[in-house]
Structure 1
Amino acid sequence: MKETVMRATIDPPRTVLANGAETMTATDAPELAGPPAVRPVILPLDGSALSERARPWAVAIARTRQAPVIMMGVVDAYQASSLGLAASAGVPLYNSMVPDALQEVTQYLETQVGACAAVAPDVHTQGLLKIGDASREILKVASELDAQMVVLTTHGRGGVDRLIWGSVAEQVVRNGHVPVLLVRPWEHPVPELTSEHPGWRVLVPLDGTKLAETSLAEATRLAVGGELLLVRDVVSGHGDWSDDLTEPREATDMAKLYLDGVANRLREDGIRVRTLVLTRPVVTDAISEVVSTEAIDLIVLATHGRGAIGRLLHGSVSDALARHAPVPVLLIHQAPEVPAS
Structure 2
Amino acid sequence: MFKRILIPTDGSELALKAVATGVKLASELGAKVIFLHAMEPYIAPYAAEVALMDSRTQEMFERGIHEDNDRILGDAKRVADAAGVANQCVSAVSSRAEVFIEKTVNEFACDLIVIGTHGRGAVGRFVMGSVTARLLPISPVPVLVYRDALMPAA
TM (normalized to structure 2)?
Answer: 0.73
Give SS of 1:174's match: coil
2:74 corresponding residue in structure 1: 110
Residues in 2 aligned to 1:149 and 1:98: alpha-carbon distance in whole angstroms: 31
Q: Flag the structure with higher helix content.
A: 2
Query: CA shift at 1:176, angstroms?
Result: 1.6
Letter in 2 for 1:124: A
Residues in 1 aligned to 2:12 and 2:38: alpha-carbon distance in whole angstroms: 13
CA RMSD across the alignment: 2.9
Letter in 2 for 1:171: R
2:133 corresponding residue in structure 1: 170
1:194 corresponding residue in structure 2: none
Letter in 1 for 2:87: T
Q: Which gives a bigger RCO, structure 1 or 2 (Cα 8 Å, sep 6+)?
A: 2
Residues in 1 aligned to 2:68 and 2:25: alpha-carbon distance in whole angstroms: 28
Residues in 2 aligned to 1:73 and 1:115: alpha-carbon distance in whole angstroms: 15
Letter in 1 for 2:33: V
Identity of aligned residues (%): 24
1:125 corresponding residue in structure 2: 87
Give SS of 1:176's match: coil
**Which runs of 5 or more residues in structure 2 are unaligned?**
51-57, 120-127
**Which runs of 5 or more residues in structure 1 are unaligned?**
1-37, 157-163, 188-322, 325-341
Residues in 2 aligned to 1:149 and 1:127: alpha-carbon distance in whole angstroms: 16
2:114 corresponding residue in structure 1: 151
Matched, 1:41 2:11: no
Give SS of 1:98's match: helix
- Asked if the contact 1:39/1:146 (under 8 Å) is kept, the reply is no
Structure 1 residues 95 and 63 mapped into 2: Cα distance closer, same or farther (>3 Å)? same
TM (normalized to structure 1)?
Answer: 0.35
1:190-339 superposed matches below 5 A:
none
Query: CA shift at 1:52, angstroms?
Result: 1.2
How many residues are paired up? 133
- Asked if the contact 2:18/2:146 (under 8 Å) is kept, the reply is yes
Letter in 2 for 1:126: Q
Residues in 1 aligned to 2:91 and 2:105: alpha-carbon distance in whole angstroms: 13
Residues in 2 aligned to 1:47 and 1:115: alpha-carbon distance in whole angstroms: 13
Query: CA shift at 1:76, angstroms?
Result: 1.4
Q: For 1:272-306, what per-residue CA distance to the aligned partner results, in whole angstroms no more than 9, with x for missing partners?
A: xxxxxxxxxxxxxxxxxxxxxxxxxxxxxxxxxxx
Query: CA shift at 1:97, angstroms?
Result: 5.2
- Asked if the contact 2:3/2:30 (under 8 Å) is kept, the reply is no
Letter in 1 for 2:149: W
Query: CA shift at 1:181, angstroms?
Result: 0.2
2:148 corresponding residue in structure 1: 185
Give SS of 1:47's match: coil
1:255 corresponding residue in structure 2: none
Residues in 1 aligned to 2:71 and 2:16: alpha-carbon distance in whole angstroms: 15
Query: CA shift at 1:96, angstroms?
Result: 8.1
Structure 1 residues 112 and 178 mapped into 2: Cα distance closer, same or farther (>3 Å)? same
- Asked if the contact 2:111/2:142 (under 8 Å) is kept, the reply is yes
Query: Among residues 134, 144, 147, which one is paired with 2:97 in the alignment?
Result: 134
Residues in 2 aligned to 1:61 and 1:116: alpha-carbon distance in whole angstroms: 11
- Asked if the contact 1:154/1:182 (under 8 Å) is kept, the reply is yes
Query: CA shift at 1:112, angstroms?
Result: 2.1
Letter in 2 for 1:174: P
1:53 corresponding residue in structure 2: 17
Give SS of 2:140's match: coil
Over alpha carbons, which structure has the higher Rg? 1
Which consecutive segments of 4 or more residues in structure 1 shift more than 4 A? 94-97
